[in-house]
Amino acid sequence: MDTRAVPQEGNATLDGHSKAVYARDEAGRIVAVPCSGWQAEEIVTLQAVDLFRGRAEAARRRARAGQASPLEYWMYARRMDLATFSQSCGVWQWRIRRHFDARRFARLGDALRARYAEALGISAEQLGSVP
């Protein structure tokens, strides 16, 4: 790639930042050039972001309807899947899945609530509801 061909498309996902890519300048030297974005990157980044957003939104609706606990919403809102969340809080996946149930979650002790909240980077109070 030549430096003139480095895409400068101003990706929304980069939020005004540039990343360095390597390209060949007029003198034939391969140098680092700031790149403000490329559509191919933007598309796949948004695909990954939207996957979590969609899951969080579905979980939020379930929680609002009383069909699920807020825990599932917060997990996806923090861009974690079950495996990642389980590793972060040190609770078995099957146990977490049980706590996606609104009634079981309501009976949850303070210690486990605090542990979940800590892993998600929110307060135990926030964990009790969905925004």
Partner 1 sequence: MSADFPHRHAAHCESGTVASLLSHAGQPLSEPMAFGLAGGLSFAYLPFIRIQERPLIAYRVPPRGILRGIEKPLGVRFTVERFRSPSEGQARLDALLDQGLAVGLQTSVFWLPYFPDDMRFHFNAHNLVAFGREGGDYLISDPVFEAPVRCAAADLQRARFAKGMLAPRGTLYYPQPGRPVRAPDATAVANAIRRVVRMLQAPLPFVGTRGIRQLGARIGRLDTAAPDSLLLVGHVVRMQEEIGTGGAGFRFLYAAFLQEAAQLTGRAALDELANRLLEIGDRWREFALAAARMVRGRDPFEPRALAAALEGLAEAEHRFFGELGRAVR
Kindly list the residues in this chain that would bind partner 1 in the complex (CB under 8 A): 1, 12-24, 29-32, 34-35, 38-41, 43-49, 51, 78-81, 83-84, 87-90, 119, 121
> Closest approach of Cβ 106 to partner 1, in Å?
26
C-beta closer to partner 1: residue 79 or 113: 79
> Closest approach of Cβ 129 to partner 1, in Å?
22
> Closest approach of Cβ 62 to partner 1, in Å?
20
C-beta closer to partner 1: residue 14 or 108: 14
Q: Is the dihedral of CA 69, 71, 72, 74 positive or negative?
A: positive
**8 A C-beta contact, residue 39 and residue 9:** yes
**8 A C-beta contact, residue 122 and residue 88:** no
C-beta closer to partner 1: residue 82 or 102: 82
- Distance, CA of 46 to CA of 44 (rounded, Å): 5
**8 A C-beta contact, residue 70 and residue 40:** no
C-beta closer to partner 1: residue 17 or 98: 17
Beta-carbon contacts of 39 under 8 Å, excluding residues fewer than 6 positions away, are: 7, 9, 11
